[in-house]
């Protein structure tokens, strides 16, 4: 299908031209990301309040995290952001095969992230660090172990919500792969790829903050 | 709309490399004992990474002023939520009879 | 000269462009979606009203003799949840915002029509969860879901209701997102921001609140559900958690939410008052800016709901001061509407009756809000009927009045039919009288010390309670009448024509009911908003299409 054919096919009736449609979709996606900032923000605010109040318990909780998993996952997401941005780039150049390859790589990296997260969650389960289910914390310091349970509550809530968003992202990537395979995108019309890209990068952004806040609070044991 | 200057693949790879380096840096700094500066450095590095993703990968540099305003507004209101809530928590101890955190 | 609406060639409009259930349930036409919302929220309004009726019946006598106290807790909770989340929050934006925003800016539809339809389905699914909660035992935490009662101790359907509120929140977010993008990107040529109807400014400001505030409610309610299901301990004092953190997060949305419930009504008032005074709104720029100011300042005052909850006195002082500030833009609007009326050619059609009611009742509600913002007063009247009266004056006297006003003003546009004016005026009067009789005594009751959310009370409060219940009965009649005569008008009402009120605004320059894509040709706007001098003086301003 030629570029102009995909363009005409994809112009919705209530827009004057593709340019208005693209500008509208882009702004709409950014506004959606604004709502996501506020959504995660509630949890970040809760985290902040408790960290200031129960710092030692926060340190104790953070020290149970396995930094290597968190660091590798951060790297995995950063790589997936690169492959995502390359798939958008390829789509804008009309390179269907390259777009597909980059999308698949992004998807694979996303699953890698989720897999590592699953390993971590299992580890927490084994160590009795899951609030409400089997929480039991050996406390050896100047803090209340009940507060460590709050830390873990927020840990699971924040990383869990992040993981849910990644799963949704994986679904969106799959949809893009199918649409791309059907030749729906071209150098004239490729905004869905770009929009999913924005979403994917945003999910990466959340993790960029989650990693230091949850894993790196204090990496030297002070009792 | 005329195509704005697009970042090249080279730019993307450079940003990617920078992000990885900054990640390694933040892990390294976390092993040092810097007291309250641990948190400040960690959050600063995270913000630099975030800006790299926003400006280059998400192309916020080339977005409309409206989009930029929207993103800034979100961050602003988030600070409002945290800040005004903190105005309660941080001043509770000022009244002698209310102190929930001993 | 206006073309006769019964011309030999029947013109298609959005109502008859397509037939069948699928054409309604799968529509992406913003006008049809508006009607889908109208039908649903009307059902929910009467459901909420049903709970109100049971509450007022119980409160006829001092003893708690009609229902058990646990049941009473469920009644006021469900009344609040249904009225706020299933009626007031969507009300004007989802019905009139959806219908009119594209038309008022000369567009063919909202920016994201499919998202608009999805919004309605999300709303219905969320409502389904809330209804499920009602039918399987109800919710008794109060619409405010305070912890730790909601997370730990309540034996009612918290999770189902919380899930329902969470889901309907997304309906709100997507509607707001749609409106913001539409107003920015799809205005007709020549329609600058300062030529926009103030209805658009009001809906724009409302949408900003929806987009920024609702996600925080969403995450808060998710945390409550998680805490209840998995015994996460974020708000649990047994784990050192702080119930006040829940309240901070909850009210961060729920205070701006009240501005979601009133700003659209204020937008309606600007349209109606201008039309029935035949004058441009006085101080257009101030009214427009005041909508934005309310949206922003509204986010700064939430802890005035927590003055006695245990926050620090210093934070209380800060929030009290900010609360005084947020009243100012609302007052600016009231002053400007009054100035618009001055030396206007005023007529008293039904929408104008509702507008007058709004100005008076909203002012009373708003002022009592300022009283409550003063910590020294709030200490005495918080959690009494004074607060109940205050918020019903703004939400019913303001919000519902605005809804009924809009319903009557744009009914001819949406349906092509006029309602019977005499019945409409009568029901407006009944609503006004019934409302005041219901809620004014509650100010007195609260001041005298009667607590809210109690199903029994000391005998000395009975007379005022009986007055309140009597008022509620009259109010109910006033609300039911439009159901009857509006339905009647669909079949037997007079043909309305494109512009029965000779009102200004692009929506009046197309047929009633409008064609499927709103305008035969995209209008090019070269005139200022509220150009009543042109419309009335030279009669050249209005081109009748249709």
Report whether A204 contacts B46 (CB < 8 A): no
**Torsion, Cα of C143, C149, C151, C157 (10° steps):** -60
Supply the Cα-derived Rg of chain A in whole angstroms.
21
Interatomic CA distance for residues A73 and A90, integer angstroms: 25
Helical H segments across C240-312, by residue range? 243-277, 284-297
Instruction: Give me the half-sphere count of Cα atoms (radius 13 Å) on the Cβ side of residue C213.
Output: 29
pTM: 0.94
Interface contact B82-A44, CB threshold 8 A: yes
Q: Does residue C544 belong to any structural domain of this protein?
A: no
Per-residue pLDDT band for A223 (boundaries 50, 70, 90) equals very low
- Please tell me the total count of domains within chain C: 1
- Residues of C at the B interface, defined by Cβ within 8 angstroms: 184, 212, 216, 242, 244-245, 248-249, 252, 299-300, 302-303, 310-315, 318-319
Predicted pLDDT of residue C3: 45
Query: Which chains have 3+ CB pairs within 8 A of B?
Result: A, C
Please determine, looking at this structure, whether the domain spanning A17-216 carries the CATH number 3.40.50.1980. Answer: no
Number of residues in chain C:
546
What pLDDT does residue B4 have?
55
User: C194, exposed or middle or buried, with CB in 10 Å at 0-12, 13-18, 19+?
Assistant: exposed
Distances (CA, A) of C440 to B43, C396, C437, C467, C472: 53, 13, 6, 9, 11
CA distance linking residue A188 with residue A18, whole number of Å = 9
Percent of all residues in chain C with a pLDDT value above 90, rounded to a whole number: 91
Sorted by sequence, the CB contacts under 8 Å of residue C61 that are 6+ apart come out as: C462
Q: Which of A34, A37, A82 sits opposite B12 (nearest CB)?
A: A82
Among A171, A179, A134, A152, residue whose Cα is nearest residue A57: A152
Q: Is B45 on the interface with A (CB under 8 A)?
A: yes
B31 touching A (Cβ < 8 Å) = yes
d(CA C382, CA C449): 10
Residue A11 has what pLDDT?
84
Bridge-partner residues for C384, per DSSP?
C451
Mean pLDDT per 10-residue section of chain C, whose length is 546 residues:
46 87 94 97 98 97 93 97 98 97 96 97 98 95 95 93 97 98 95 96 98 97 93 88 96 97 98 96 97 97 96 94 96 97 95 98 97 96 97 97 98 97 97 98 97 96 97 97 97 94 95 92 91 77 48
Structural tokens at position C505: 């605004």
Residue A3: the pLDDT is 61
Cα(C414)–Cα(C103) distance, rounded to whole angstroms? 11
For residue A87, pLDDT over 70 is answered with yes
Asked whether B88 and A53 are in contact (CB, 8 A), the reply is: no
CA distance readout (Å), C288 to C270, C318, C339: 10, 27, 15
Cα→Cα distances C449→C389, C394, C412, C443, C461, Å: 13, 21, 46, 10, 9
Per the structure block, which two tokens stand in for C510? 């197309």
CB-based contact, B70 to chain A, within 8 Å: yes
In a domain? residue C4:
no
b/e sequence C485-519, b meaning 16+ C-beta within 10 Å:
bbeebeeebeebbbbbbebbbbbbbbbbbbbbbbb
Between B96 and B87, residue with greater pLDDT:
B87
pLDDT at A105 over 80: yes
CB of C526 closer than 8 Å to CB of C190: yes
| Residues on chain B touching A220 (C-beta within 8 angstroms) | 31, 33
Q: What is the dihedral of CA C120, C30, C179, C181, to 10 degrees?
A: 110
Whether residue C74 lies inside any domain: the answer is yes
User: Taking CB atoms and an 8 Å limit, are B64 and A197 in contact across chains?
Assistant: no
- The confidence band for A186, taking pLDDT boundaries of 50, 70 and 90, is confident
Whole-angstrom Cα distance, residue C533 to residue C423? 31
Helical residues (DSSP H) of chain B, grouped into ranges: 9-30, 37-52, 65-89
Q: Residue C419: name the closest of C497, C507, C486, C519 by CA.
A: C486
Q: Answer whether B17 touches A (CB < 8 Å).
A: no
Pick the range with the lowest mean pLDDT from A81-90, A126-135, C256-265.
Answer: A126-135
Could B54 and A219 be called an inter-chain contact, meaning their C-beta atoms sit closer than 8 Å? no
pLDDT of residue C7: 45
Q: Do A31 and C245 touch (CB under 8 A)?
A: no
Give the model's pLDDT for residue C9: 45
Judge: C312–B94 Cβ closer than 8 Å, yes or no: yes
Cα separation of C56 and C45, whole Å?
A: 16
Q: Which residue does chain B place closest to C312, by CA atoms?
A: B92
Query: Ramachandran region of residue C538, left (φ > 0), alpha (ψ -120 to 50) or beta?
Result: alpha
pLDDT confidence bin for A218, thresholds 50/70/90: confident
At A142, is the pLDDT very low, low, confident or very high (cuts 50, 70, 90)?
confident
Task: Spell out the residues 6+ positions from residue A223 whose beta carbon is closer than 8 angstroms to its own.
Answer: A140, A141, A142
Contact of B23 with chain A, judged by CB distance below 8 Å, is answered with yes
Q: Which of B13, B46, B70 sits opposite A34 (nearest CB)?
A: B70
Q: Which residues lie closer than 8 Å to C449 by C-beta, 6 or more apart?
A: C384
CATH number at residue C461: 1.20.210.10
Task: Kindly indicate the confidence band of residue A2, based on its pLDDT and cuts at 50, 70 and 90.
Answer: low
Average pLDDT, chain A: 91
Our CA angle for C217, C219, C222, nearest 5°, is 105
Q: Are B85 and C248 a contacting pair at CB < 8 A?
A: yes
> Dihedral (C-alpha) A203, A206, A208, A210: value to the nearest 10 degrees?
-130
| Interchain proximity C318–B84, CB inside 8 Å | yes
Q: Burial-class residue A119 by CB neighbours within 10 Å (0-12, 13-18, 19+).
A: exposed
In a domain, C546, yes or no: no
> By C-alpha distance, which of C219, C254, C257 is closest to C235?
C219
Q: What is the pLDDT of residue A10?
A: 79
C158 contacts C150 by C-beta, under 8 angstroms: yes
Query: Chain A closest CA to C464's CA: distance in Å?
Result: 42
Within 10 Å of residue A222's Cβ, how many Cβ atoms? 11
Closest-CA residue of chain C to B90? C312
- pLDDT of C93 reads 97
- For residue range C201-258, what is the model confidence (pLDDT) as tens digits? 999 999 999 999 999 999 999 999 999 998 888 998 988 899 999 999 999 999 999 9
Work out the burial of residue C339: count CB atoms within 10 Å of its CB; fewer than 13 is exposed, 13-18 middle, 19 or more buried: middle
pLDDT of the residue at C71? 95
DSSP string covering C142-169, please?
Answer: TTTT-TTIIIII--S-HHHHHHHHHHHH
Range of the domain at C349: 21-537
Q: Which chains touch A (3 or more CB pairs under 8 A)?
A: B, C
Q: Name, in order, each residue with C-beta under 8 angstroms of B63's C-beta and a sequence gap of 6 or more.
A: A26, A30
Query: Hey, which residues does C451 pair with through a beta bridge?
Result: C384
C8 in a structural domain: no
Q: What residue in B sits closest to C242 (Cα-Cα)?
A: B100
How many whole angstroms separate alpha carbon C117 and alpha carbon C123?
Answer: 10
What are B9's two structure tokens? Answer: 């693949």
List C-alpha distances in Å: C334 to A214, C255, C345, C371.
50, 21, 19, 18
C44 CB-near residues (< 8 Å, 6+ apart): C82, C83, C86, C87, C127
Is the separation of the CB atoms in C468 and C439 below 8 Å? Answer: yes
Residues in chain B: 102
A156 touches chain C (CB under 8 A): yes
Contact C446, C391 (CB under 8 A): no
């Amino acid at each position: 299908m030629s570029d102009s054919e995909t363009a005409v096919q994809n112009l919705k009736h209530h827009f004057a031209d593709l340019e208005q449609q693209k500008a509208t979709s882009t702004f709409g996606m950014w506004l959606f990301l604004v709502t996501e900032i506020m959504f995660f923000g509630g949890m970040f605010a809760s985290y902040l309040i408790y960290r200031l109040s129960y710092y030692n318990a926060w340190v104790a909780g953070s020290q149970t995290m396995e930094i290597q998993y968190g660091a590798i996952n951060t790297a995995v997401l950063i790589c997936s952001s690169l492959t995502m941005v390359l798939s958008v780039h390829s789509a804008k150049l009309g390179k269907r095969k390259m777009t597909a390859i980059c999308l698949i790589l992004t998807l694979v990296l996303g699953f890698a992230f989720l897999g590592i997260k699953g390993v971590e969650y299992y580890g927490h389960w084994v160590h009795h660090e899951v609030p409400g289910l089997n929480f039991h914390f050996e406390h050896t310091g100047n803090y209340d172990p009940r507060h460590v349970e709050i830390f873990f509550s927020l840990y699971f809530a924040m990383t869990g919500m992040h993981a849910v968003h990644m799963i949704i992202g994986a679904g969106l990537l799959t949809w893009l792969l199918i649409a791309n395979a059907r030749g729906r995108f071209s150098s004239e019309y490729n905004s869905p790829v770009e929009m999913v890209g924005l979403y994917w990068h945003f999910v990466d952004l959340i993790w960029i903050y989650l990693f230091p806040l949850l894993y790196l609070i204090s990496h030297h044991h002070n009792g | 709309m005329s195509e704005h200057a697009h970042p090249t693949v080279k730019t993307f790879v450079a940003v990617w490399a920078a992000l990885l380096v900054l990640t390694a840096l933040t892990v390294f700094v976390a092993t040092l004992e810097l007291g309250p500066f641990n948190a400040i450095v960690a959050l600063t590095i995270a913000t630099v990474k975030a800006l790299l993703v926003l400006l280059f990968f998400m192309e916020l540099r080339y977005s409309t002023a409206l989009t930029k305003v929207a993103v800034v507004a979100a961050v602003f209101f988030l600070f409002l939520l945290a800040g005004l809530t903190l105005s309660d928590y941080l001043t509770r101890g000022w009244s002698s009879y209310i102190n929930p955190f001993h | 000269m206006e073309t006769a609406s019964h011309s030999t060639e029947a013109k298609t409009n959005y109502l008859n462009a397509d037939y069948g259930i699928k054409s309604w349930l799968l529509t992406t036409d913003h006008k049809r979606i508006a009607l889908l919302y109208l039908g649903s929220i009307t059902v929910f309004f009467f459901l909420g009203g049903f709970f109100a009726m049971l509450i007022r019946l119980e409160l006829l006598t001092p003893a708690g003799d009609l229902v058990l106290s646990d049941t009473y807790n469920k009644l006021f909770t469900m009344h609040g949840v249904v009225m706020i989340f299933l009626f007031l929050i969507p009300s004007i934006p989802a019905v009139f915002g959806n219908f009119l925003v594209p038309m008022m800016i000369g567009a063919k539809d909202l920016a994201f029509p499919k998202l608009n339809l999805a919004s309605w389905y999300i709303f219905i699914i969320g409502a389904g969860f809330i209804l499920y909660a009602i039918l399987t035992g109800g919710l008794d935490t109060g619409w405010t879901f305070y912890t730790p009662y909601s997370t730990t101790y309540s034996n009612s359907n918290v999770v189902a209701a919380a899930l329902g509120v969470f889901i309907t929140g997304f309906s709100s977010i997507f509607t707001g997102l749609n409106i913001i993008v539409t107003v920015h990107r799809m205005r007709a040529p020549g329609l600058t921001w300062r030529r926009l109807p103030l209805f658009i400014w009001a809906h724009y400001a409302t949408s900003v609140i929806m987009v920024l505030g609702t996600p925080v409610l969403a995450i808060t309610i998710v945390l409550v559900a998680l805490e209840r299901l998995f015994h996460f301990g974020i708000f649990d004092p047994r784990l050192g958690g702080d119930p006040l953190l829940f309240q901070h997060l909850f009210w961060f949305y729920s205070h701006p939410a009240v501005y979601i419930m009133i700003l659209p009504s204020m937008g309606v008032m600007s349209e109606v008052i201008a039309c029935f005074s035949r004058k441009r709104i006085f101080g257009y720029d101030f009214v427009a800016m005041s909508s934005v100011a309310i949206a922003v300042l509204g986010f700064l005052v939430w802890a005035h709901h927590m003055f006695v909850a245990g926050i620090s006195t210093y934070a209380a002082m800060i929030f009290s001061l900010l609360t005084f500030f947020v009243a100012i833009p609302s007052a600016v609007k009231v002053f400007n509407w009054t100035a618009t009326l001055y030396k206007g050619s005023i007529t008293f059609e039904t929408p104008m009756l509702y507008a007058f009611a709004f100005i008076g009742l909203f002012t009373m509600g708003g002022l009592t809000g300022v009283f409550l913002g003063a910590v020294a007063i709030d200490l005495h009247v918080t959690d009494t009927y004074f607060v109940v009266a205050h918020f019903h004056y703004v939400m019913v006297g303001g919000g519902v009045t605005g809804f009924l006003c809009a319903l009557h003003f744009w009914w001819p546009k949406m349906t092509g039919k006029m309602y019977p004016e005499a019945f409409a005026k009568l029901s407006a009067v009944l609503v006004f009288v019934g409302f005041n009789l219901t809620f004014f005594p509650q100010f007195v009751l609260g001041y005298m010390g009667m607590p809210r959310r109690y199903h029994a009370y000391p005998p000395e409060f009975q007379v005022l309670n009986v007055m309140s219940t009597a008022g509620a009965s009259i109010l109910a009649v006033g609300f039911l009448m439009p159901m009857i005569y509006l339905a009647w008008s669909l079949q037997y009402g007079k043909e309305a024509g494109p512009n029965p009120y000779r009102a200004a605004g692009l929506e009046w320059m197309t047929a009633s009911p409008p064609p499927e894509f709103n305008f035969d040709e995209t209008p090019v706007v070269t005139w200022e908003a509220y150009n009543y001098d042109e419309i009335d003086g030279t009669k050249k301003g209005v081109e009748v299409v249709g």
